[in-house]
Amino acid sequence: MSNVSAEMPPRPAEAAPPAAARPDPSRPIARPKKGALNLAAEVLAHGGPGYLQFAITNICNADCDFCGFARSKFNPKARRSVTWEEARQAIDLAVKNRIGYLLFVGGEPMVHRDLRAMTRYAAGRGIHPMICTNGGLWTEENLRGLADDGLSSVIMSIDAHDAGRHERNRGLPEVCKKIKRANEFFHSADIQTTASITASRLIEDYEKLPAFLESLGFRSCTFSYPLTSLASSYLSFSDSGLVNYSKDELIEVFEKIKRMKRHSGFPVVNPTESLTEMQRHLRGEKERFGCLGGHKYFYLDWNLDLY
C-alpha cells in the first residue's frame, strides 16, 4: 500500500496554489476512443492500459445485508470523501502511469457532488471513465449529464432474480424501475451497461437470472466473489449468512454460474476458465493463471491510499 499524495511535490505553506477549476459542463465531451492498432502498440510497449478502481467516498445510501458500507452499519463519524482537487491530482497521476480505465466506486459514488466533474476531467485526459452504482440516485438530469461528460460504461448492482428480493436487500424501494430507465437511456446513448451480481444466498436459482436481467434491460453481467473479509479499506464484505459459504458450497456456486452460461447463452463477463480457476483455488489445486493486482490493476481509496 502507498499513499498517492506522498508522490506529489511538496508545496510551501505560504504559497499554496489555488484549487483547479472544475471542467466546463456546458458542452458535451467526446468519449475516449482507442483503435485496435494503438491498443496493440500499447500492449507491446508496456503491457497495455491499466485499470484503477477509485473509491471517491465511503458514504452509501443503500443498506445491503452483505456489505460493510451499509448505511445502518457504517459509523457516521468515519465518513470521508475525496475533494475535487485530490481527485484531479489522482487522475493526473493515473494518466502518467498509463491507466486507461478508471472505475468510480464508493460507498456509492453517485452521492459525491463532484462525480460529474471527475468523469469529465478523466475523459478529457483520455481515460475511459466508468461508474459502479446501485442505481438508486439516477435522475433524467444526471443520466444526460454524465453522458455529456464522456462516461464510457456503467456497472449496476443486482442481488437476486426478482425485484422484491433485490430491493429489500438494498433498502431501496423502486430502484429496479430506475435501473431499467437508466439502461434504456444508456443504450440509446451507446454507453455500455453491465449487471454486477454478488454470488449470495439471495439467488435461489441461477437459471432465473438471465430473464430478470433482460427485463431490466441488461445485455451482460459479471459475478463478484462473496467476500467475508478483505485486507484493505474497501468495505464491500460482511460475515452475513448470505455470503458465508463453505468451500464446497462455493465450488457448487461457481458450477451453477458455469451451467447458467451454457444453458442461457446470456453474456457473462467472467470467462468459464476463470470460474474453473476459482474452483481449483478452493480445492487447493495448482492454479494456472497469475494475478495482475498491483501490476495492471489497482485500488485507490478516499484517503488516497493505493493498493
CATH number at residue 256: 3.20.20.70
Number of domains in the chain: 1
Q: Is residue 21 part of a domain?
A: no
List alpha helices for the chain, DSSP H.
Answer: 36-46, 84-96, 115-124, 140-148, 163-170, 175-188, 209-215, 247-264, 272-283
* Residue numbers of the domain that contains 56: 44-306
Write the DSSP string, 111-169.
Answer: G-TTHHHHHHHHHHTT-EEEEEE-STT--HHHHHHHHHTT--EEEEEE-SSSHHHHHHH
Enter the C-alpha cell of residue 177.
Answer: 424501475
Summary mean pLDDT of the chain: 90
Q: Average pLDDT, stretch 209-213?
A: 98
Strands 153-158, 297-300: pairing kind: unpaired
pLDDT of residue 40: 75
Q: Is residue 251 part of a domain?
A: yes
Q: Is residue 33 part of a domain?
A: no
Q: Average pLDDT, stretch 54-66?
A: 95
Q: Is residue 259 part of a domain?
A: yes
Q: Is residue 150 part of a domain?
A: yes
Radius of gyration over every alpha carbon of the chain, rounded to an integer in angstroms: 20
pLDDT of residue 8: 42
Q: Average pLDDT, stretch 278-291?
A: 91
Q: Average pLDDT, stretch 28-32?
A: 91
Q: Is residue 30 part of a domain?
A: no
Helices (H) and strands (E) in the chain, counts: 9, 9
Q: Is residue 9 part of a domain?
A: no
* Secondary structure of residue 99 in the 3-state scheme: strand
pLDDT of residue 298: 93
Q: Is residue 62 part of a domain?
A: yes
Residue 168 has pLDDT above 50, yes or no: yes
Enter the C-alpha cell of residue 47.
Answer: 503491457
Say which range, 101-115, 157-171, 221-235, 251-265, has the weakest mean pLDDT: 221-235
pLDDT band at 9 (very low <50, low <70, confident <90, very high): very low
Please give the model's pTM, rounded to 2 decimal places: 0.88
Q: How far apart are CA 181 and CA 185, in angstroms?
A: 6
Q: Please say whether the dihedral angle defined by the alpha carbons of residues 102, 108, 114 and 120, taken in this order, is positive or negative.
A: positive
pLDDT of residue 3: 64
pLDDT band at 4 (very low <50, low <70, confident <90, very high): low
% of residues, the chain, pLDDT over 90: 73
Residue 11 has pLDDT above 60, yes or no: no
Q: Which of 303, 289, 132 is nearest to 232 (CA)?
A: 303
Identify which has the larger pLDDT, 274 or 39: 274
Q: Which of 191, 199, 208, 111 is nearest to 155 (CA)?
A: 191
Residue 96 has pLDDT above 50, yes or no: yes
